[in-house]
Amino acid sequence: MIKFLDLYKINDRFRNELEEAFSKSLDDSHFILGNNVTKFENEFASYCNTKYCIGTASGLDALTLILKGYIHLGKLKRGDRVIVPANTFIATILSVLHADLVPILVEPNSETYNLSSDMVREKLQNETKAIIMVHLYGQLADIEGLQQLAKDYNLLLIEDAAQAHGALCNLGKAGSVSNAAAFSFYPSKNLGALGDGGVITTNDSELFETVKLLRNYGSKEKYKNEIIGCNSRLDDLQAAFLSIKLKSLDGDNQRRRKIAKNYIERINNSKLKLPFYDDSENHVFYAFVVEVDDRDDFIKFLSQNKIEWLVHYPIPPHQQQALNDFNYISLPLTEKIHKRIISLPISPVMTDQDVQIVIDALNTY
């Protein structure tokens, strides 16, 4: 069986260091906002080339707190419109709703699955005050175009970088090319914790100070609450684990790119539409996503060949029961994509033999 993602093997590489970190944390017994959080925040800010990093309980919380932070600072107000890609994971849209803002769903580029500035421009309204660009599947969005659009229309530009740890282009790294960015450290991510976790990266000192309050009950000093906040703190033990794994992130991303390149160069099957990749570092291949006309038939084929798979994501957000206010919207490209996409195994612990088995099988489909 070729596993889709072998989390045991991924984390077992760090077993001794992880066990040592756990033991030290147990001895220190400083479990909330301790030194491990501060250390990792500094490390990840440096890694992303930003001034600030704030740990949160999840990627969803990170996005929500960015938006709520800008509301507190008066740069957004409740009811403002926020552009989001229609084909994103639902968390992106939930963050907008949790902040009492209005998501405007925009169809993606059919090749990259990401927002393009041209598509966004067509959807701008007077009430539009922000754009959330999602680096979906690990590939950077149209950063240059969206930066220019945000400048032209005085919009906040926010990154959902939950799947793009370490992605890089000539304008900078994921997390550094916007007003603020949100990352997730869900265990399956390229940089994954052993539980939930997230961070915000930014160069905005006002947002940094505001979100530090918001994530901790609105409090800087214990039992003194300055604003209405919440409880969304990166766990100190998870921060220690992330510091250990961060050292291997670039190498893991390179391995993912090598596997993706092998797939693209050596899978030769007209029934499959392979992902767009320009051979640069702007893609870290959180997922290797192909399109196929008959997904059910392809899934049956993969299962017969003992190749695990996953669909990112089977139901587009606007057709989810939870978002029934959006069910009336017609988004034909998004709907088509969600019916056709399927993700193949890709991870830094796949062997060359594993990769070859996948290639050989797919060339017979």
Question: Average pLDDT per run of 10 along the chain, which is 365 residues long?
Answer: 97 98 93 95 98 98 98 97 98 98 97 96 95 98 97 98 98 98 98 98 98 96 94 97 98 98 98 96 98 98 98 97 95 97 98 98 98
Structure tokens, 185: 């450290």
- The H or E element that residue 105 is part of is strand 102-106
Which is nearest to 148 in space by CA: 131, 169, 165? 131
Q: CATH 3.40.640.10 region(s) of the chain?
A: 7-246
Among the listed residues 318, 260, 269, the one whose alpha carbon sits nearest the alpha carbon of residue 289: 260
Q: Is 86 helix (H, G, I), strand (E, B) or coil?
A: coil
Within 10 angstroms of residue 169's Cβ, the number of other Cβ atoms is: 16
What residues pair up with 45 in beta bridges, in sequence order? none
CA 25, CA 55: separation in Å to the nearest integer? 17
Please provide the CATH number assigned to the domain covering 249-362: 3.90.1150.10
pTM score > 0.75 for this model? yes
- How far apart, in whole angstroms, are the C-alpha atoms of residue 120 and residue 105? 9
Q: In the chain, which residues fall in CATH 3.90.1150.10? A: 249-362
User: In the numeric block, which tokens belong to residue 351?
Assistant: 């062997």
Beta bridge partners of 91: none
State residue 256's pLDDT score. 98
Are 333 and 110 in contact, with CB atoms under 8 Å apart?
Answer: yes
| Cβ(198)–Cβ(171) below 8 Å | no
Question: Is 3.40.640.10 the CATH number for 7-246?
Answer: yes
Q: What is the per-residue pLDDT for 273?
A: 98
One-letter amino acid at 152 equals: D
CA–CA distance from 193 to each of 19, 199, 236, 258 (Å)?
14, 12, 11, 24
Using only the alpha carbons of the chain, give its radius of gyration.
20
Helix axes 205-214, 59-72, angle to 10 degrees: 110
pLDDT value at residue 253: 98
Q: What is the pLDDT of residue 166?
A: 98
Pair of tokens at residue 296? 């059910």
